[in-house]
Amino acid sequence: MDRDQHRAVRNTPVVQGEGSPHHRLAEERARSDVQRLRARARHIADDVADRLADPAFVDRHLTATPKLEGSLLTNGAAGTALLLAEAGHAQGAYREQTRAHLGLWAQRLRAAPARIGLFSGLAGLGFACGAASSADDDTYAHLRGQVRAAVLAATPGLSTAIGRRIDGTGTALTMVDHDVVYGLTGLGVYLLAEAPDSRALAQVTDTLIRLSATREVTGHRIPAWATRRVDDGTESGLLNLGLAHGLAGSLAFLSLALLVGAERPGQRQAVHDMAAWLLNERRDGPDGAAWWPRTLRLDATGAATVTDPPTQLAWCYGTLSVCTALRLAGQAGERPDWVRDAKRDLIRAFDDLSGADVTASHLCHGWAGLLQITSRTRDGHPGDDELTGLTHTLAARVLNSYDAQAPFGFRTDLGLPHGPQNEPGFLTGAAGNALALHAYGHDQLPATVWDAALLLAPPRAGGPLPSR
């Protein structure tokens, strides 16, 4: 059932009153449609988990990528481990398979010990191990302890270097310095789960707070999080607004930290200032619906212009990215108006799904990511018919991409010359699709809180760890 059908059911005139047989029949049909949709989502999620359970099968069928890349949270063994941990959480299934995938990831990461990012290295391994752990299961305690020690050792130097770049006293700041995929925001998510009382988390948070300031460049004040960009030999600044690589991601993390009581001096003010900046960049479309740019380009005077494409309907960039960050900022800063407006603008962003330029099914910039964002927003607004209807519509879009002939149940089209590829992983692959469908199919929030990696919720604390 799509969103228009849900609206039709809700808005159908009932001549004989709401208790009439016609009204009850319409409600029963709508419930039956939803039940079938959820049942199919559960079936497909389980099917994908079964397909990905054997690491050898995955290795045989995935589209060839560099060896290390296939072990990362983005598109490799870590993502499949998250799916197996979530799918097996209630009944204790897939434990051996989860262990096998995490062991494979650990082996491959030994070849690149300098990588520590959430989606690009050790922090992702620790995050996935923590998600697979429980209070009465210390299977991964030793491995998690090793990862934590390595991350804690690397974080101070990294935070200091990136802090200088933010201040303009070091080398040029890049988006991978502070983003959730490679940078400090992703490390913050990991540390919030695995080392919430650590000095390293304080250092990461303090550095990200400094993004709310400005710095001087050629006599002009620009946002401290502006990065350098060179096009055709012309240097300019770039402001990325998205969750994946931009201000919305850092704002979401700082807000999530506040929500679980991890507060540093100046953090609340930084959340307010970042949110205010994003609110100031709100645009109104011809139909009155709000939208936010993907990125802004800064010229030599500090003036900003919207880049092309202007916006995007996705987790990584665009309106839903910003709405997610503003919702979390509103919750953390006790601004119910931000929460209310973020929900309204999210719903309006879906007004014309027929014209939406969404061609992928995965979490990063596809239907699965939109489904999970909407599901998390709905959690804060129980009983909201529009949000509920949207989750049904978006789940159907993900399900429409299922391909029983594909080795992993879904193929990924990243616009590469060789065409769609077989990706098993989390951010751009089948595991991420199945995780979103699993949550929808069971109509419940993820037990492992896997979507904390997407900055949609505070991370879940893992099981026991060796003493520090």
The full DSSP string for 6-24 is HHHHHH---TT-TTSHHHH
**pLDDT surpassing 90 at residue 239:** yes
User: Cα dist. 297→149, 234, 239, 251, 325 in Å?
Assistant: 39, 12, 6, 20, 21
Say whether the peptide bond before residue 293 is cis (omega within 30 degrees of 0).
no
SS3 content of the chain, % helix, strand, coil (to 5): 55, 10, 40
Residue at 119: amino acid letter = F
Instruction: State the average pLDDT for the chain.
Output: 87
- DSSP letter for each residue of 122-137: HHHHHHHHHHH-BTTB
Grade residue 325 by pLDDT with cuts at 50, 70 and 90: very high
**pLDDT surpassing 90 at residue 210:** yes
- Answer with the residue of higher pLDDT: 14 or 452: 452
What integer is the mean pLDDT of 307-318? Answer: 92
Phi-psi label, residue 14: left if phi above 0, alpha if psi -120 to 50, beta otherwise: beta
Whole-angstrom Cα distance, residue 438 to residue 86? 8
Are 48 and 406 in contact by the 8 Å Cβ rule? The answer is no
> Which H or E element spans position 229?
strand 227-231
Are 434 and 49 in contact by the 8 Å Cβ rule? The answer is yes
In tens, the pLDDT along 431-452 reads 999 999 999 999 999 999 999 9
Residue 206: the pLDDT is: 98
**pLDDT surpassing 70 at residue 464:** no
Token code pair at residue 31? 């419930």
**pLDDT surpassing 80 at residue 58:** yes
What b/e string do you get for 269-283 counting C-beta neighbours within 10 Å, with b at 16 or more?
A: ebbbbbbebbbebee
Residue 205: the pLDDT is: 98
- Answer with the residue of higher pLDDT: 159 or 113: 159
Rg (CA), the chain: 22
Residue 348: the pLDDT is: 94
**pLDDT surpassing 50 at residue 320:** yes
Residue 4: the pLDDT is: 47
Residue 106: the pLDDT is: 84
What integer is the mean pLDDT of 57-81? Answer: 78
**pLDDT surpassing 50 at residue 12:** no
Are 302 and 220 in contact by the 8 Å Cβ rule? The answer is yes
Measured from the Cβ of residue 404, the count of other Cβ atoms closer than 10 Å reads: 7
**pLDDT surpassing 60 at residue 137:** yes
In tens, the pLDDT along 81-110 reads 999 999 988 677 898 899 888 888 888 777
State pTM to two decimals.
0.91
- Answer with the residue of higher pLDDT: 455 or 418: 455
**pLDDT surpassing 80 at residue 374:** yes
**pLDDT surpassing 50 at residue 13:** no
Grade residue 169 by pLDDT with cuts at 50, 70 and 90: confident
**pLDDT surpassing 50 at residue 8:** no
**pLDDT surpassing 90 at residue 382:** no
Share of the chain above pLDDT 90, in %: 64
Are 87 and 443 in contact by the 8 Å Cβ rule? The answer is no
- Answer with the residue of higher pLDDT: 328 or 27: 328
